[in-house]
């Protein structure tokens, strides 16, 4: 179908009606929903400390094995960056929709906690969380406070080149349970399987939904990108909210072009 602008009252009206009628809606979110909070998306160029690296270079088990300190430092830096930003109008509009329609399920590829901090309940974090950690060998969960670790490293040499360098060389602790493995982020890296429960819950929700709204994902990372097709297969309309065309756009029932922070409040307000 042809894309419509969010300012197009007919398109917004049609999707609003779907939203009012939906009894089992599902929202599937990607990095774009957090972009207006200041969290860079994956396919944006990185800036600052990490501009030399692409996420694909850092988000793998091989990268962690080759240079645990570099990968650990990147994740702790991201966790701290997310702690410093706030949910935006898009997160808040989704939380308000869920407050009105508690059957609304949110499935996210994001490893931030901005849906939760906006007051929403997330059914499924498909790719894990920046705030959960486990042993790379025995899988035992580990307690780590990313802000405290980064703040300690910063205080050693505040503002200096050496201080910045130190932030890229934090050491992952040894697992307190097995004393063999390094602690790693509980995040799905490229080439790894999704957590069984998160994936199963997401699949079930999509198969049972009567409306799916896909927000801020490029739709190129599998298997998450297959989820909208489960909804379509179940006969549910699927709506895309994204400022740009994506790999999913052609299959969508409706496309609303624009940033989540503008489109979602207009749709759900």
127 tagged catalytic: yes
Considering only 147-155, 174-182, 217-225, 249-257, which stretch makes contact with ligand OAD by CB under 6 A? 217-225
As a whole number of Å, the end-to-end CA separation of the chain is 25
Q: Which of residues 49-68 bind ligand OAD (CB under 6 A)?
A: 55, 59
Place of tokens 């505040």: 158
Q: Which of residues 71-110 bind ligand OAD (CB under 6 A)?
A: 109
Which CA distances in Å does 133 have to 59, 160, 171, 188? 14, 29, 14, 11
Q: How far is the CB of 189 from ligand OAD (least distance, A)?
A: 6
Of all residues in the shown chain, the one whose CB is closest to ligand OAD is 32
Interface residue with ligand OAD, options 16, 42, 157, 207 (CB under 6 A): 42
- Taking CA 265 as the corner, what is the angle to CA 261 and CA 267, rounded to the nearest 5 degrees? 120
Nearer to ligand OAD, 98 or 218 (CB): 218
Q: How far is the CB of 230 from ligand OAD (least distance, A)?
A: 17
Positive or negative: CA dihedral 43, 45, 46, 52: positive
Q: How far is the CB of 42 from ligand OAD (least distance, A)?
A: 3
Q: How far is the CB of 4 from ligand OAD (least distance, A)?
A: 15
Does residue 45 come out as left (phi exceeding 0), alpha (psi in the -120 to 50 range) or beta? beta
Q: Which two tokens stand for residue 15?
A: 């999707």
Q: Compute how many residues bind ligand OAD; rule: CB under 6 A.
A: 25
Interface residue with ligand OAD, options 146, 181, 237, 259 (CB under 6 A): 259
Q: How far is the CB of 160 from ligand OAD (least distance, A)?
A: 31
CB 256 within 8 A of CB 240: yes
Q: How far is the CB of 82 from ligand OAD (least distance, A)?
A: 13
Nearer to ligand OAD, 160 or 226 (CB): 226
Can you tell me the distance from the alpha carbon of 223 to that of 145, in angstroms, rounded to the nearest whole number?
30
Does residue 37 belong to the site contacting ligand OAD (CB under 6 A)? no
DSSP-derived secondary structure for 25-72 = EEEEE-THHHHTTTPPPTTSPP-GGGTT--HHHHSSHHHHHH-HHHHH
Q: Which of 91, 115, 127, 254 is catalytic?
A: 127
Interface residue with ligand OAD, options 188, 202, 212, 227 (CB under 6 A): 188
Interface mask (CB under 6 A) for ligand OAD, residues 118-137, using x and -? ---------x----------
Interface residue with ligand OAD, options 30, 181, 228, 237 (CB under 6 A): 30
Footprint of ligand OAD on this chain (CB under 6 A)?
30-32, 35-36, 41-43, 55, 59, 109, 127, 188, 215-218, 221, 242-244, 246, 259-261
């Amino acid at each position: 179908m042809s894309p419509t602008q969010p300012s197009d009252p007919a398109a917004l009206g049609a999707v609003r009606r779907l939203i009012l009628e939906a009894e089992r809606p599902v929202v599937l979110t990607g990095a774009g929903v957090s972009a207006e909070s200041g969290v860079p998306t994956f396919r944006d160029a990185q800036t600052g400390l990490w501009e030399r690296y692409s996420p694909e270079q850092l988000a793998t088990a091989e990268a962690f094995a080759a240079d645990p300190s570099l990968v650990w430092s990147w994740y702790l830096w991201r966790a701290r960056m997310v702690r410093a930003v706030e949910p935006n109008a898009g997160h808040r509009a989704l939380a308000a929709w869920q407050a009105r329609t508690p059957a609304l399920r949110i499935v996210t590829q994001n490893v931030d906690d901005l849906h939760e901090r906006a007051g929403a309940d997330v059914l499924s974090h498909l790719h894990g969380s920046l705030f959960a950690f486990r042993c790379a060998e025995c899988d035992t969960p580990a307690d780590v406070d990313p802000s405290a670790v980064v703040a300690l490293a910063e205080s050693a040499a505040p503002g200096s080149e050496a201080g910045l360098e130190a932030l890229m060389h934090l050491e992952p602790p040894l697992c307190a349970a097995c004393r063999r493995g390094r602690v790693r982020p509980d995040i799905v890296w490229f080439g790894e399987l999704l957590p069984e429960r998160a994936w199963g819950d997401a699949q079930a929700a999509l198969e049972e939904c009567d409306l799916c709204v896909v927000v801020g994902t490029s739709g190129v990372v599998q298997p998450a990108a297959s989820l909208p097709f489960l909804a379509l297969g179940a006969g549910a309309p699927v709506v895309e909210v994204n400022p740009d065309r994506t790999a999913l756009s052609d299959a969508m029932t409706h496309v609303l072009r624009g940033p989540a922070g503008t489109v979602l409040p207009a749709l759900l307000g």
